[in-house]
Structure 1
């Protein structure tokens, strides 16, 4: 009997051990329409990247070695697009691989033969001239004009164009990298970074926290580093570094304010690199190293809410990540909410509400633009067959924010803050679907506090429900009164605008009446010199109004052209080219676009190609 008991216990132990092993290998990854990977069969867990950047041929070449886990799989599938795949190995030995049929959006599946006990795979590859994530810049396209520059942009599904990888946000990996660059340049990544140039041009990186593939980022240029605090600092070209440090001097205060709201910063270091002006976004929240556009360097910290936004992503997006791009609002809606809370903590409620109101206006414009496709105004999207970029608009950002702000006002800030802090802690270093969030919300906030809320209407219905938070601003009301006074008298009392913030100016300009005359535009331009504005946001909204109102004074056409040639930020560029398109000025737009397009990253160029029906 004793022997049977021991035998039974041994069998039970073996069974439990096998079950535990299966639990480790088999994660319930959800269906992902934007990746060829089949992670429930075989999944990557760690990347060792060994590459060299050749600026003469504009090619990255090398190898990507993955530690993998598999569930008795004999094949593993990666994503690849516009890559030259040279060979593949399994546990260090050459193994067959095949590339699937090419899809314009998704690229190709890269299927590699493995065995049930394969521990690693390696892919040897080169990028090509079509690689979309990379932008190689010549010296004239940089601030200092002395050395070339390279940066990557992986979100949403472009990492596969410079690294063969399982390019789905729900697949989190750690990584190490060795990157060889020309000796007069420095390489930095979304990882532990150098503070000075190496003597041999070889750099080693380590990202010990698991991140989604779209957050793997690389920049190479003649850059310097200056610290702001022990855990914050900035990288930029020499001519920009002091301006950048001064502009972002509140970074440590931002981190402290964020931690006070929602818990510890879990990424050790928060640095920002200001890239050349062709960078297609305001910022990109690459862990440990936010990429930022130089258009936020206004000289008065008036546009630094962008830094608060990217910092907030360290919790919402990087720490807790949308499982698929259909759930993108979980990244951005939370981040806008968090950003505005950081700005309120540092600069007061007035400024926070002004930022929120500008976002609210953006949301109204977006909903109007999407009135022919109302399903696109839902928070939870169905992007199968569509590029994830199609969902990266004000719906995810500003409707998502409005939903959360309405929740906060419904349950009270104290309870909502406790809920969010618990949410980030519970789901740290994991991915989440909209359904997962709703279940967590119900259990940990609504049911717990016996609150009834129309969550499903907010998330699954088009438009904005009637129970929305109402955001007001006395400062914006004053800006509107100033406009009414101007329209009545055709003159403006400059003293009324003496202490206006960027947000007040933006609100003032964006809300010109449709009856605005060219003469009135000229009066305002002469009074405030909008055409020569050095603040990029003010310049953008003024140029939009100039196009809308066919204002040609003060050489504004030339200034708009210069702006579009020198700035690659997609939001700014798309806004102005949309104004040309809306006002039947496509021919004017195309003349400028043919000059400006070579300076744009593929993310921006692809958007404007479609907008203007341009065939490169």
Structure 2
């Protein structure tokens, strides 16, 4: 009997070790790739020249005289020579008819063969990253520009255009964010110049070619297969995608709250198909939860596809076509949060786009907080707290608005999520979720700035939020660092408690914020009172019926703050 007990204990211990080990691996993976995205790490040097200040040089002000309405993009892929033949027609309105030239973003390593305006050959110059097309007729308020070209696209940023192989089969994929669509596509590469797209991709017949929108048709000519994809909703150039390779797939249907049926399909390399079925198959549930929180999926008339790609730094929310790096397709659901994050972008980032790259937190902070909202909806407040705790950091490397070189760093993702979390606490749940719904309604299929969002938050809540946005978005760096001490004494039948607080941080002089104070009594009974910090140093007095054995600040984890007790 004793031996059996020992054996039982040993087996139990080993099982516990196994469970802890598996959880540790899972925890490591989720923290190493918390959303399956490490954009700010892998390509920091390549993106450095494209800080927000440089982006303004990349997009000359004269581009604002152009409003692109439609792109017809014809791309012929030559995977053996690793080159493309492109034929792009751009329909645009001219806000300034007197402009002498039209500046398109396009890299000068590509060989331009033909440029036309309304079917007539036009003079042009290609210098560095700008294709400047001369416009002779000043009476036109709308035109069609056609550019025919060929060459091997540069692969910049996160890998803007890539010819690779997988198990001896060619594979091509693009990833344009933030401003690298122009490595392979002449365009106005601004996030707020959305347009409709007809995409024609021609490749070998063994390859499946994917892009945004709905599949119109396929055609085989001279041993090559052309896929025609068409968007119904406008799209930013950084969200335009091409994936082409030897894919296997499976599909699902999702019934939206609008009663429309949404096509879901998932594409993976044959060797990863079974893993993809395990990893990707829960998307109907993700959609259901987000529709309950945010409203109907914004691209219901198109689709939602997820495809495995060979970018190994994360995932990318190409509009209606999320790309997932192959190392994240393992069949163990280690990267569920990544998939949820990318789906959330279809509300925040794709439907409501950023006005400029200075507003990138409106994309990434919103999608990151959406993951926390998803788990709150599924598992309750503790899941919300746990998810947000996993995004906690010191965030000392800059401001949230216009983050400079930290365009895709943890500052934008995690601090952005925390700002929304604190905003929710500041204005209350009713106002917060009403703001999200109104934000989507007002700016869907368009773009919004941080100032637009602030103005809307103030309108819905009836509050002046200048201080909140100044300390957390526009000017504050880092987080709150609050030291406190307390003492109590019996006065008559009650206890008088004095709480002293002092802000210690350097990134912002005086934060102003509400904070809950939890008084814990013997027997583990407790009560919470809310106070508002408005000074660097403050004193608060409380009258209590009992003497607390302990107090906790921010017990429900609403603040991006550290707390140092001077009573310890």
Q: TM-score range by the shorter chain?
A: 0.5 to 0.7
Partner residue, 1:59: 83
Contact 1:90 1:114 in 2 (8 A): no
Contact 1:53 1:179 in 2 (8 A): yes
**What is the aligned length?**
411
Q: 1:195 to 1:283 in 2, by over 3 A?
A: farther
What's the offset of the Cα at 1:120? 0.4
Is the deviation greater in 78-87 or in 172-181?
78-87
Contact 1:37 1:77 in 2 (8 A): no
Find the aligned partners of 2:457 and 2:150 in 1 and give their Cα distance. 45
CA displacement, residues 224-281 of structure 1 (integer Å, 9 cap, x when unaligned): 22113243221111121221122122101111111111111121221110113xx054
Find the aligned partners of 1:119 and 1:214 in 2 and give their Cα distance. 23
What's the offset of the Cα at 1:410? 1.9
Find the aligned partners of 1:467 and 1:255 in 2 and give their Cα distance. 37
Partner residue, 2:118: 91
Find the aligned partners of 1:149 and 1:77 in 2 and give their Cα distance. 32
Is the deviation greater in 296-305 or in 389-398?
296-305
Partner residue, 1:148: 170
Partner residue, 2:309: 275
Q: Which has the higher strand share?
A: 2
Partner residue, 1:339: 371
**Pick aligned residue for 1:76 from 102, 109, 115:** 102
Any stretches of 5+ residues in structure 2 without a counterpart?
A: 1-54, 255-261, 481-510, 517-568
Contact 1:446 1:453 in 2 (8 A): no
Find the aligned partners of 2:401 and 2:466 in 1 and give their Cα distance. 20
Q: 1:296 to 1:196 in 2, by over 3 A?
A: farther
2:357 maps to 1:353: no
Find the aligned partners of 1:35 and 1:250 in 2 and give their Cα distance. 40
**Pick aligned residue for 1:458 from 472, 481, 484:** 472
After superposition, residues 4-403 of structure 1 pair within 5 angstroms as 32-36=56-60, 38-70=62-94, 71-72=96-97, 73-81=99-107, 82-100=109-127, 102=128, 107-113=129-135, 115-116=137-138, 117=140, 118-128=142-152, 130-132=154-156, 133-138=160-165, 142=166, 145-193=167-215, 200-230=224-254, 231=262, 232-268=264-300, 269-276=303-310, 279-360=311-392, 363-364=393-394, 366-367=395-396, 370=397, 377-381=398-402, 383=404, 390-403=406-419
TM-score (norm 1): 0.63
CA displacement, residues 116-141 of structure 1 (integer Å, 9 cap, x when unaligned): 32520101112325343111112xxx
What's the offset of the Cα at 1:190? 2.0
Aligned with 1:61: secondary structure? strand
Q: Which has the higher helix share?
A: 1
What's the offset of the Cα at 1:403? 0.8
Contact 2:154 2:161 in 1 (8 A): no
CA displacement, residues 40-59 of structure 1 (integer Å, 9 cap, x when unaligned): 32232100011200001101
Question: RMSD over aligned Cα, in angstroms?
Answer: 2.5
Q: 1:392 to 1:454 in 2, by over 3 A?
A: same
Find the aligned partners of 1:353 and 1:126 in 2 and give their Cα distance. 52
Find the aligned partners of 2:326 and 2:382 in 1 and give their Cα distance. 26
Find the aligned partners of 1:295 and 1:349 in 2 and give their Cα distance. 32
